[in-house]
């Protein structure tokens, strides 16, 4: 079923999924609803926009890493279609209540509300007492009233409708730290007058699964557990990527002016693990972000007393709030991460925005105290806080920068596209903007500086990543499931019925990408939208000795069949 919530009328209805929608979820469902129900030319912060929360068809079952939550809308950051997904406890609970997705539309004339969903149905409750609260205080307050619930929340940035605002979900320890981070979707949730969604599946009757499906789950869980990438993710988490990108000259450093950081050995996965194990206490180098996760790539990062600073500390944050700002201290990066989580802003986007400011000599690279102060200004709602909270492109334009690392208004993730050119193609061509999860190529066995194989490499990665997002599964399972796509489709057939072939995932990915591309075209994207910023073609990265030189004509033809 779908749950539809009209914030203007206060009306909540259940809708049956039609035949077309029964087999899809996640990104496929969010993009379908946006493309069918949202005017491409609408103001993203108007009542015409809709925000969709969707889970995949495997959610609520024991298939590992299958409880991702996709959130979609027209983005206030990119002006195009957007999907952002996250782990946490929310996805499985939504599914166990019988829902594939939640559509929130219109906006109230006044007021702030919480949406409560449980076995007795769904209802809107007044949330004025929560106004102005940030995510950690808000979650603690809501869990006292709704114990055992999963929460979807926004901080003050979402209430202020800032285009870097993200949406928080609880992790397994009830920390609001699993972020639907990219695209400013927290601002869309804020403009709907929605402070939190409380999801409680207590007392729900568990779905009876077929023996065939259970057997496929056992097989696929074994495949993921034995995948060659799983031990690295488990032992070092995403921060293991610091050494990989630094070696390639692709670690964002000093506003993407370099690709290697002199203090990389102080912020990498091995160093992070050593600190966590040495400090003990609350710390843990391996931690699941959702029920049933086998990979356990998350972490809990403690201070010297063993008390949690933030959980988790991820590679993207280390790259954008660390090396990109010239900060080589994990404690400092962790504290910046906590502020972002609490206020509810994307660490990637605000890290890129502050990097642009440092590049323009507004403050110095490496100045942790100034970076901390700037992030706190977002919560205060000051002029400089609102500028940074509007993202890297706006920040760069205000300060007259010629080096703004964005595509379609969204900042690069923590990979320099000149050194990892397949990802540069993904940044340029993805309907999502510069998003590493849209089709990451960094682990491919190719010469990343050679422009020739990158179009095909990116296309293959984007098709698979899009399909995996549609199934509501974590992308880190691809190390095992990517080579077992036939088994994954057979599990889907056992789950939903039907006889889809191995080609289904490629076809699904292609269908979604074309749908998203069409929406963006209608929203006014020009022919030149699928490009990196101009300076990336002219400026050589001194640590890889290359600029971005993939043929622009091939970028324009990316979606041609």
HEC-encoded secondary structure of 213-251: HHHHHHHHHHHHHCCCCHHHHHHHCHHHHHHHHHHHCCC
Cis amide leading into 49 (omega within 30): no
User: Which are the contacts of 215, defined by CB distance < 8 A and separation ≥ 6?
Assistant: none
CA neighbours within 13 Å on the CB side: how many for 454?
28
> Across the 561 residues of the chain, what is the mean pLDDT of every consecutive 10-residue run?
97 88 89 97 98 97 96 98 97 97 97 97 98 98 98 98 98 96 98 98 92 96 95 96 98 98 98 98 95 95 98 98 98 98 98 98 97 98 98 98 97 98 98 96 96 96 97 95 94 92 94 97 91 97 98 91 61
- 3-state SS, 51-92, equals EEEECCCCCCCCCCCCCCEEEEEECCCCCCEEEEEECCCHHH
- Structure tokens belonging to residue 80: 């195009």
Q: How far is residue 351's CA from residue 50's CA, in Å, rounded to a whole number? A: 28
| Cβ pair 368, 327 in contact under 8 A | yes
Q: How far apart are CA 334 and CA 339, in angstroms?
A: 9
Q: If you search the block for the tokens 């979650």, which residue do you land on?
A: 139
C-alpha distance from residue 253 to each of 164, 234, 258, 420 (Å): 21, 26, 5, 14
Q: Beta 194-199 vs 113-118: how paired, if at all? A: parallel
Closest CA to 442 of 238, 218, 220: 238
What's the rounded Cα separation, in Å, for the pair 516 and 320?
27
DSSP code, position 207: P
291 by Cβ neighbours in 10 Å (0-12 / 13-18 / 19+) ranks as: middle
The region that residue 210 occupies, defined by phi over 0 for left and psi between -120 and 50 for alpha, beta otherwise, is beta
Distance CA 545, CA 250 (A): 11
Determine how β-strand 101-105 pairs with β-strand 50-54: antiparallel
Please state, in angstroms and rounded to a whole number, the distance separating the CA atoms of residues 101 and 30. Answer: 8
Q: What is the CB neighbour count within 10 angstroms for residue 361? A: 9
Give the 3-state secondary structure of residue 461: helix
Which helix H or strand E contains 549, and what residues bound it? none
pTM of the model: 0.97
Residue 561: per-residue pLDDT:
61
Q: Name the 3-class secondary structure at 327.
A: coil
Helix (H) or strand (E) run with residue 124 in it: strand 121-126
CA distance 560 to 552: 14
CA distance 416 to 246: 10
User: In this structure, are residues 519 and 513 in contact, taking their beta carbons and an 8 Å threshold?
Assistant: no
For the chain, the distance separating the N- and C-terminal CA atoms, rounded to the nearest angstrom, is: 34
Sheet holding 113-118, edge to edge: 121-126, 113-118, 194-199, 150-153, 167-170, 176-180
- Bridge partners (DSSP) of residue 407 are 410
Q: How far apart are CA 257 and CA 405, in angstroms?
A: 10
């Amino acid at each position: 079923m779908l749950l539809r919530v009209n914030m203007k009328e206060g009306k909540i209805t259940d809708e049956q999924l039609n035949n077309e929608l029964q087999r899809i979820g996640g990104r496929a469902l969010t993009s379908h609803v946006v493309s069918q129900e949202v005017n491409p030319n609408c103001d993203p912060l108007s009542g015409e926009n809709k925000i969709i929360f969707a889970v995949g068809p495997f959610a609520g079952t024991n298939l590992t890493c299958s409880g991702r939550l996709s959130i979609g809308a027209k983005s206030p950051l990119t002006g195009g279609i957007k999907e952002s997904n996250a782990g946490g406890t929310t996805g499985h609970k939504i599914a166990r209540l019988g829902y594939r997705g939640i559509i929130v539309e219109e906006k109230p004339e006044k007021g702030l509300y919480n949406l409560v969903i449980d076995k007795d149905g769904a209802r809107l409750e007044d949330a004025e007492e929560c106004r102005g609260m940030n995510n950690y205080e808000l979650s603690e307050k809501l869990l006292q009233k709704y114990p055992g619930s999963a929460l979807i929340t926004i901080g003050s940035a979402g209430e202020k409708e800032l285009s870097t605002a993200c949406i928080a979900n609880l992790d397994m320890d009830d920390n609001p730290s699993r972020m639907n981070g990219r695209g400013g979707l927290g601002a869309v949730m804020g403009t709907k007058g929605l402070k939190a969604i409380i999801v409680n599946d207590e007392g729900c009757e568990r779905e009876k699964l077929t023996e065939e499906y259970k057997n496929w789950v056992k097989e696929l869980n074994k495949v993921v557990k034995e995948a060659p990438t799983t031990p690295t993710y488990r032992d070092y988490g995403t921060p293991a990527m610091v050494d990989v990108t630094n070696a390639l000259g692709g670690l964002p450093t000093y506003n993407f002016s370099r690709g290697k950081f002199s203090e990389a050995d102080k912020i990498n996965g091995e160093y992070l693990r050593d600190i966590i194990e040495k400090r003990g206490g609350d710390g843990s180098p391996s931690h699941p972000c959702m029920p049933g996760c086998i990979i356990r790539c998350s972490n809990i990062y403690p201070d010297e007393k063993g008390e949690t600073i933030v959980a988790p500390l991820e590679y993207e944050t280390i790259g954008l709030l660390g090396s990109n700002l010239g900060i080589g201290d994990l404690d400092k990066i962790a504290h910046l991460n906590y502020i972002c989580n609490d206020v509810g802003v994307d660490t990637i986007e605000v890290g890129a925005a502050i990097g642009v400011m440092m590049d323009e000599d507004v403050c110095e690279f490496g100045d942790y105290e100034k970076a901390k102060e700037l992030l706190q200004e977002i919560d205060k709602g000051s002029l400089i806080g609102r500028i940074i909270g509007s993202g890297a492109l706006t920040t760069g334009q205000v300060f007259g920068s010629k080096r703004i690392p964005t595509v379609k208004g969204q900042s690069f993730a923590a990979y320099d596209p000149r050194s990892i050119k397949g990802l540069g193609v993904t940044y340029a061509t993805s309907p999502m903007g510069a998003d590493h999860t849209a089709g990451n190529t960094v682990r491919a066995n190719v010469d990343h500086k050679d422009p020739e194989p990158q179009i095909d490499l990116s296309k293959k990665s984007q098709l698979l990543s899009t399909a995996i997002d549609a199934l509501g599964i974590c992308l880190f399972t691809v190390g095992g499931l990517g080579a077992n796509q036939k088994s994954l489709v057979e599990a889907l057939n056992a789950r939903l019925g039907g006889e889809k072939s191995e080609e289904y995932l490629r076809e699904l990915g292609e269908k979604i990408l074309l749908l998203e591309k069409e929406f963006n075209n209608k929203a006014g994207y020009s022919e030149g939208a699928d490009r990196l910023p101009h300076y990336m073609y002219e400026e050589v990265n001194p640590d890889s000795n290359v600029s971005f030189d993939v043929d622009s004509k091939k970028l324009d033809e990316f979606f041609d069949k």
